[in-house]
Amino acid sequence: MIQTSLKSASLKPTRVVVLISGSGSNLQALIDSCHAGELPIELVAVISNRADVLGLTRAQDANIPTAVLDHKNFADRETFDRALMQKIDSYQPDLVVLAGFMRILLATFTQHYEGRMFNIHPSLLPKFQGLHTHQRALDAGEKHHGVTVHFVTAELDGGPAIVQASVPIVAGDDAKSLAKRVQQQEHIIYPLAVKWFAEGKLKMIEGKTQLKGELLPAAGVQIHSDTL
Ligand code: GAR
């Protein structure tokens, strides 16, 4: 009896809320991995701070509940963050996934989800925090560029890394071609990180990332791609 209930408890899918602001291609990668039976998660809601974005259509097409909280309708960041927290918590998530969610979140918010919120950022952090990362990598004459999945902390794009994928920068690249190559990697490593978490293999402990019981180096698991 006890064994049965323990077993069924461990089979409970991880409840995931995804926050978006735009096209939702990373959301789509998670949806596709779920449909392929590769992720032991349930996508319980997609929340956007913008109406009329493609990501919401992707969610609706996959029968995932959606909500829009337009930041422009709130007096200040505190009020928006509080409303967003309440909305997220109404879905009782185990994990919150920022997938192209382009709002700065205050410390009260990030602390509330400490150890259970991921972000994906299009650079090899700690390089190029913030915006326009592809152009900045080109301007800096980098040989490689890439993407990082990390736990979210109060420091913008500064939480402990989980996994990084790098791609070569090649002659003739512009920000668009480089972004495309990086995004192909995003769609591989985001489902991978979510899978590790859902399988109970990934934790944030004292500001560091632990995977399968081992502390990871500061840059997380490294994936190198020579895909052009
Ligand atoms: C992704 O490239 C993601 O890395 C980036 O926004 C894009 C969203 O694309 N995130 C950031 O810049 C966060 N600082 P998507 O909506 O198609 O997933």
Q: Please spell the DSSP secondary structure of 136-198, one letter per residue.
A: HHHHTT-SEEEEEEEE--SSTT-SPEEEEEEEE--TT--HHHHHHHHHHHHHHHHHHHHHHHH
CATH number of the CATH domain containing 167? 3.40.50.170
Out of 65, 90, 113, a domain closes at 113
Q: Which atom in ligand 1 lies closest to the alpha carbon of residue 186?
A: 4
Residue 217 has φ and ψ, to the nearest 5°, of -60, 165
Shared-domain flag, residues 134 and 106: no
Shared-domain flag, residues 80 and 133: no
With respect to residue 2, please indicate whether it lies within any of the assigned structural domains: no
What is the per-residue pLDDT for 8? 45
Q: Which helix H or strand E contains 121, and what residues bound it?
A: strand 117-121
CA dihedral over 77, 82, 87, 93, signed as positive or negative: positive
35 catalytic, yes or no? no
Shared-domain flag, residues 107 and 147: no
- pTM of the shown model: 0.94
* pLDDT at residue 1 greater than cutoff 90: no
Shared-domain flag, residues 160 and 180: yes
- Cβ-in-10-Å burial (0-12, 13-18, 19+) of 104 comes to exposed
Categorize the per-residue pLDDT at 2 as very low, low, confident or very high, splitting at 50, 70 and 90: very low
Shared-domain flag, residues 108 and 127: no
d(Cα 109, Cα 8) in Å, to the nearest integer? Answer: 32
Instruction: Dump pLDDT digits (tens) for 26-78.
Output: 999 999 999 999 999 999 999 999 999 999 999 999 999 999 999 999 999 99
Q: Which helix H or strand E contains 126, and what residues bound it?
A: none
Shared-domain flag, residues 108 and 133: no
DSSP label at 202?
A: E
Instruction: Dump pLDDT digits (tens) for 143-190.
Output: 999 999 999 999 999 999 999 999 999 999 999 999 999 999 999 999
Instruction: Dump pLDDT digits (tens) for 84-136.
Output: 999 999 999 999 999 999 999 999 999 999 999 999 999 999 999 999 999 99
User: Got the DSSP string for 24-53?
Assistant: -HHHHHHHHHHHTT---EEEEEEEESSSS-
Closest CA to 189 of 169, 213, 163, 210: 163
Task: From 26, 48, 49, 102, give the residue whose CB has the most ligand 1 atoms within 8 Å, as the site to mutate.
Answer: 26
- The Å distance, Cα 8 to ligand 1 centre, comes to 35
Tokens matching residue 16: 């995931």
Out of 91, 113, 135, a domain closes at 113
* pLDDT at residue 9 greater than cutoff 70: no
CA angle 98/99/101 to nearest 5° reads: 70
Cβ 71 vs Cβ 43: under 8 Å: no
